[in-house]
């Protein structure tokens, strides 16, 4: 049987034996026919809390927080429609702040692609500055006593409008909601505290869990310290069409969105598989290996100990080369040494959480990667290249024996499989 895998801006076709293959996808939802109207209706009649119209006056200073280029949020539609709704507010009272987290800043050309040229030309659009401590205001501390630092523009606004989309997240439970503030516009040291090795290793730091998840609970606590907020989050189908809009109160609206996503994305399986093929949901989510670890995580949930995991992720930006993740992977001799280093008191590195999660998966599985990365880059990342996915599937099934089975996640972490009982 032929299966189409999301890859870059297109698809890969792979061949799998029909009698030994299970394809796992989210329940498909229809896109909203009139997205603009749905957005405006949600602003006037939110899922929870007062409407945006009730919160905003002509002199209200607004900070709109939008997701960066590594996210699939349809900013080019959502943000112009939001600004149309806020047309009674003077442009100089509105700042658009890019939720970079610890990612690299987006160029003006990228911002124009993300938000449209009209928005970039007519509004103040800024990248968050995670490495510039002076760009932040301290709002208490994290659990371990690290300063909780949030971007000054977000804190000093009268109202924060937090935009984004909701999908399962591999260690924070779900994206969207409070993540738009923390880590979205937080300082690097705050993010590193929250994403520390102990928190990452916690049992509940995984897909689909918010309350009881130490990472998400701290994210929420810090986000709540910023003052008045209005949430505008959407859910998407495989065609990047908006399937629902969740707006209003940060907590309640996001909770409703998570439940909506959980019903379609979380898919139960009865037993683990010998081979799992996954993706990172195609562009823009598979821009680099840093993001690709999300796809690995989704597939690893239903993989047998000693099984084979195959990730298809384009990685047109590389690891990225020269990134903190790239440096850490190259510094360590093997995945096990990464875990040893991260357990050493005082050893802390930016982006260590991605390396930690990859190494934990590699304790369990042989990981192969089909990508645009050359073999040397993959080997430096302690990963094995996969030149032909179909051939690799056939070889690995033969290796694992006549009863071996393969699971395929064509949409990667947009589908979150789990072993029953449900999480």
Between vectors from CA 148 to CA 143 and to CA 149, what angle results, nearest 5°? Answer: 165
Q: What pLDDT score does 47 carry?
A: 87
Domain ranges for the chain, please list them.
2-27+270-419, 35-264
pLDDT in tens, 284-302: 889 999 999 999 999 999 9
Q: Architecture of domain 35-264 in CATH?
A: 3-Layer(aba) Sandwich (3.40)
At how many degrees (to 10) do helices 324-331 and 352-364 cross? Answer: 50
**How confident is the model at residue 132, as a pLDDT?**
97
Q: What is the pLDDT of residue 423?
A: 54
The structure tokens 């109160």 sit at: 249
CA distance readout (Å), 53 to 25, 44, 143, 260: 38, 7, 36, 25
Q: Which helix (H) or strand (E) holds 51?
A: none
pLDDT for the residue 70: 87
Half-sphere exposure of 36 (CA within 13 A, CB side): 7
Two tokens, residue 396: 């690995």
Q: Of 136, 153, 169, 400, which residue is the catalytic one?
A: 169
Spatial distance between the Cα atoms of 384 and 52, rounded to a whole number of angstroms: 50
Q: Which of 103, 153, 254, 382 is catalytic?
A: 103
DSSP-derived pairing of the beta strands 303-312 and 242-248? unpaired
423 residues of the chain, pLDDT tens digit each: 999 999 999 999 999 999 999 999 999 899 999 999 999 999 999 988 999 999 999 999 999 999 999 888 999 999 999 999 999 999 999 999 999 999 999 999 999 999 999 999 999 999 999 999 999 999 999 999 999 999 999 999 999 999 999 999 999 999 999 999 999 999 999 999 999 999 999 999 999 999 999 999 999 999 999 999 999 999 999 888 999 999 999 999 999 999 999 999 999 999 999 999 999 999 988 999 999 999 999 999 999 999 999 999 999 999 999 999 999 999 999 999 999 999 998 899 999 999 999 999 999 999 999 999 999 999 999 999 999 999 999 999 999 999 999 999 999 998 999 998 755
Nearest 5°: CA angle at 62, between 60 and 68?
170
State the DSSP code for 330: H
Respond yes or no: is residue 103 known to be catalytic: yes
CA dihedral 151, 294, 73, 261 (to 10 degrees): -110
Q: For residues 281-308, b (16+ Cβ closer than 10 Å) or e, as one string? A: bbbbbbbbbbbbbbbbbbbbbbbbeebb
Round to whole Å and give the CA distance between 39 and 52: 11
Confidence (pLDDT) at 304: 97
What gap in Å lies between CA 223 and CA 28, rounded to an integer? 32
Query: Could you tell me how far CA 309 lies from the centroid of its own chain?
Result: 20
The angle at the Cα of 311, spanning 199 to 360, to the nearest 5 degrees, equals: 30
Check if CATH label 1.10.760.10 holds for domain 2-27+270-419.
no
Whether 169 sits among the annotated catalytic residues: the reply is yes
The token pair at 176 is: 């969207």
Q: Give the pLDDT confidence of 315-358 residue by residue, as tens digits.
A: 999 999 999 999 999 999 999 999 999 999 889 999 999 999 99
3-state secondary structure at position 310: strand
């Amino acid at each position: 049987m032929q299966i189409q895998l999301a890859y870059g801006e297109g698809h890969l076709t792979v061949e799998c034996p029909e009698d030994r293959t299970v394809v796992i996808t989210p329940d498909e939802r229809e896109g909203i026919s009139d997205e603009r109207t749905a957005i405006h209706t949600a602003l006037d009649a939110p899922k929870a809390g007062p409407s945006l119209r009730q919160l905003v006056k002509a002199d209200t200073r607004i900070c709109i927080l939008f997701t960066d280029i590594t996210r699939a949020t349809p900013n080019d539609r959502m943000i112009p429609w939001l600004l149309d709704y806020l047309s009674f507010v003077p442009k100089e009272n509105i700042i658009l702040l890019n939720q970079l987290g610890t990612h690299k800043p987006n160029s003006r050309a990228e911002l124009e692609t993300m938000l449209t040229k009209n928005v970039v030309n007519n509004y103040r659009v800024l990248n968050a500055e995670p490495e510039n401590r002076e760009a932040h205001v301290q709002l208490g501390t994290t659990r371990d006593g690290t300063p909780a630092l949030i971007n000054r523009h977000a804190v000093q606004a009268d109202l924060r409008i937090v935009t984004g989309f909701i999908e399962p997240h591999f260690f924070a439970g779900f994206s969207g909601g409070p993540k738009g503030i923390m880590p979205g516009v937080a300082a690097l040291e705050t993010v590193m505290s929250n994403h520390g090795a102990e928190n990452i290793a916690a049992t509940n730091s995984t897909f689909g869990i918010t309350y009881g998840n130490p990472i998400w609970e701290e994210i929420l606590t810090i986000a709540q310290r910023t003052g008045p907020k209005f949430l505008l989050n959407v859910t998407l189908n495989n065609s990047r069409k908006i399937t629902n809009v969740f707006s209003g109160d940060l907590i309640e609206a996001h909770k409703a969105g998570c439940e909506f996503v959980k019903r379609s994305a979380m898919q139960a399986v009865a037993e683990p598989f010998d081979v799992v093929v996954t993706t990172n949901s195609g562009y823009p989510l598979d821009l680099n290996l840093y993001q690709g670890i999300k796809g690995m995580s989704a597939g690893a949930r239903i993989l047998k100990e000693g099984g084979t995991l195959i990730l298809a992720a384009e990685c047109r930006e590389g690891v990225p080369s020269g990134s903190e993740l790239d440096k850490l992977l190259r510094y360590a001799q093997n995945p096990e040494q990464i875990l040893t280093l991260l357990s050493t008191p005082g050893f802390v590195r930016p982006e260590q959480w991605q390396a930690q999660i990859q190494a934990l998966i590699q304790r369990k599985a042989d990981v192969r990667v089909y990508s645009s990365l050359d073999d040397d880059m993959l080997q430096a990342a302690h990963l094995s290249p996969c030149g032909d996915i179909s051939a690799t599937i056939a070889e690995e099934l033969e290796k694992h024996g006549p009863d071996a089975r393969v699971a395929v996640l064509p949409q990667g972490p947009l589908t979150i499989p789990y072993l029953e009982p449900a999480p």
